Structure 1
């Protein structure tokens, strides 16, 4: 293999570094460079997971792992055959980054800081002699007849043999025109992983309150979100909401984020179970004040809010609640309706659905079907996962494959 092979990675984020390291490891004689348009690399790694970096999810069945991606499931299922969650954990632990797995399956560095991941990447890049060029934004790729590429920007050009594009998700279609010019069809981008704004809903007064097990549906749709639900000063967040935002990203964008949700505050409790529970409570605790004896695993402040919402006096005894009030309470506990009017980005972890159409990429190599020698990795493609380490796993997997194949 020629010592002169030049590989340029456009974008110094998670996928970019993983691609660069993979390329250099598979071809130590190649000249590998990372071109980053800003003044610093790995910015998203730094802030992810509240500064802790959820590196992956401990799901070792690749079929089940792929099911956590609203867009890209079939594509990634094949890609995981080359590099999966077990590969990720082994990769970091071999480089002395100790990891810890939480009960929900999320994997974090034992140090509890994303700096451990950044330091690992920087050590590897230095050890492998990977060139890192800051303030090197690229806005055009031209393929030469000889097979190489010219990368262009406003004030410079770079000649290279192979290119890996890892510029991340683009919030606007204009950010993808330079790839579209090469003949690649683009899926219009739209936000994923966002929280719900509810400016007219009084439940916002209980910001900070968490219900550990809730189920949320979008009214009129089959989409479902399960897990902890967090009430915020602007509306609702938490895994149950974020799941809905990811799976419903395209549909919610089409309705301009104006829709209603139905919350089951008791997870997946059915109406028959709930009515039996309420009847037993009336029989056994009929003389107790209803506000002081909520028989469900929800915070007392929320319980009292729901009682008031159904015009049930907080000083009432359980045996004083009439059938009509019981019916209203049952409906509220299982199908509590809230109006959503807008969205808010989930912390700084902006995720974009859409991007390069996966039908134009060879899954075994991440190489363009249109332009030989041009590869892709990460969120620039129409791939996105739900929260829990899945988006980073897609970055590691596609970066590994792109780097390996670009170096051949």
Structure 2
């Protein structure tokens, strides 16, 4: 029997997972990747450990982590979710582990384990990987597609488009008739110059609250001071949910931070109780709140309080200033920085042009689209990869059944 030809454009998570699930008896598959190596995001994810997915096994809960695409992904995750991902890797002798924050990693703590698994699957199926192969144009011809690249032309019965969201890859889809939403950065940290944060990079807070008053939005979670400003899950979540609005503000806005996630009344009550029990302690040595002593002393400094002062002698005005800086500190954000190398965008192919039963294009026949090229993105924690695995799996099931 003549095998049908499949061209997968883009050698990333969605493309490889799809290929790894395709039937080699039915298809001849080529993966075209413009870079010199494949699976680059998989390689650097989770600090080189590869955050494969997240231990959230109920699709209704899982979709809550996707600022864009949550409605559409409901049906996708009902067919293939993180539990299925774990089983898929376990069946290929790649044990995974769930960490305390519910992120899932390979037990080896190395992304090379995941990359090796994919490459082995592809090799066993005799599928071809072509690197340094840039797709320049795709043309529809009667029952086939002509894929023009810098390494010559390829024909395909089916195209699986998993390029990520670069402007060039979106332009090719636009030329084929798809509508796209402008891609803007999604997961990023906030650049802030402020005396309170100066010389404190690496200082973290277990649970803080961050709000953007102008956008009437708030998030909570761990917070981290960096060389450039603020990061950590609380910041990354707010940057994902408000990606388009923050792009519209040109990344110039104010945030309010509550470093201890307690309101002024609660904080004041704790302070006064400590003052009553330890009146002779110096304020600099007083461990009242769950913050580092370096941060506490910096807080005293910017609040104009001498750390040698006994806590009994701290005035009501000083307490108010101190607690406002701790619980209601306003910062001016001036720009953003990419979160590590795990660059994610909001934007891409319009979701109403995709059939989410099998990830096929409603505009183009025998053409499938998956991964970050779609207007779907998630907060950090393995969710973006899970969308890639689930979408890739659906495409493979659909093709295998033909």
Normalising by structure 1, what TM-score?
Answer: 0.95
Q: Which residue number in structure 2 is paired with residue 58 of structure 1?
A: 55
Q: Distance in 1 between matches of 2:391 and 2:151?
A: 30
8 Å CA contact 2:139–2:146 kept in 1: the answer is yes
Q: Which residue number in structure 2 is paired with residue 33 of structure 1?
A: 30
1:165 alignment partner, one of 161, 172, 181:
161
Q: Which residue number in structure 2 is paired with residue 4 of structure 1?
A: 3
8 Å CA contact 1:375–1:406 kept in 2: the answer is no
1:144 alignment partner, one of 119, 128, 141:
141
| Alpha-carbon distance, 1:179 to partner | 0.5
Q: What is the SS of the residue equivalent to 1:224? A: strand
Q: Which residue number in structure 2 is paired with residue 199 of structure 1?
A: 193
| Alpha-carbon distance, 1:377 to partner | 1.0
2:285 alignment partner, one of 259, 271, 292:
292
1:126 is the counterpart of 2:123: yes
Give 5+ residue unaligned stretches, structure 2.
none
8 Å CA contact 2:6–2:29 kept in 1: the answer is yes
1:404 is the counterpart of 2:397: yes
Let me know the Cα RMSD of the aligned residues.
Answer: 1.4
Q: What is the SS of the residue equivalent to 1:150? A: strand
Q: 1:131-183 CA deviation, whole Å, 9 max, x = no partner?
A: 111222112221122x211111245211110000000122xx45411101111
1:250 is the counterpart of 2:247: no
Q: Which residue number in structure 2 is paired with residue 98 of structure 1?
A: 95
Q: Distance in 2 between matches of 1:331 and 1:202?
A: 13
1:331 is the counterpart of 2:327: no
Q: Distance in 1 between matches of 2:375 and 2:250?
A: 21
Q: 1:231-280 CA deviation, whole Å, 9 max, x = no partner?
A: 1111111111111111111111111111111111112x223222211221
8 Å CA contact 1:169–1:379 kept in 2: the answer is yes
1:241 is the counterpart of 2:240: no
| Alpha-carbon distance, 1:202 to partner | 4.8
1:306 is the counterpart of 2:303: no
1:75 is the counterpart of 2:72: yes
Q: Which residue number in structure 2 is paired with residue 183 of structure 1?
A: 177
| Alpha-carbon distance, 1:35 to partner | 1.0
Q: Distance in 2 between matches of 1:155 and 1:56?
A: 35
Q: Distance in 2 between matches of 1:36 and 1:404?
A: 23
8 Å CA contact 1:289–1:316 kept in 2: the answer is yes
What is the total number of aligned residue pairs between the two structures? Answer: 401
8 Å CA contact 1:201–1:338 kept in 2: the answer is no
Q: 1:82-109 CA deviation, whole Å, 9 max, x = no partner?
A: 1101111111111111111111100000
Q: What is the SS of the residue equivalent to 2:197? A: helix
Q: What is the SS of the residue equivalent to 2:308? A: coil
Q: Which residue number in structure 2 is paired with residue 222 of structure 1?
A: 216
Q: Distance in 1 between matches of 2:354 and 2:22?
A: 18
Q: Distance in 2 between matches of 1:359 and 1:200?
A: 44
Q: Distance in 1 between matches of 2:134 and 2:231?
A: 35
1:19 is the counterpart of 2:18: yes
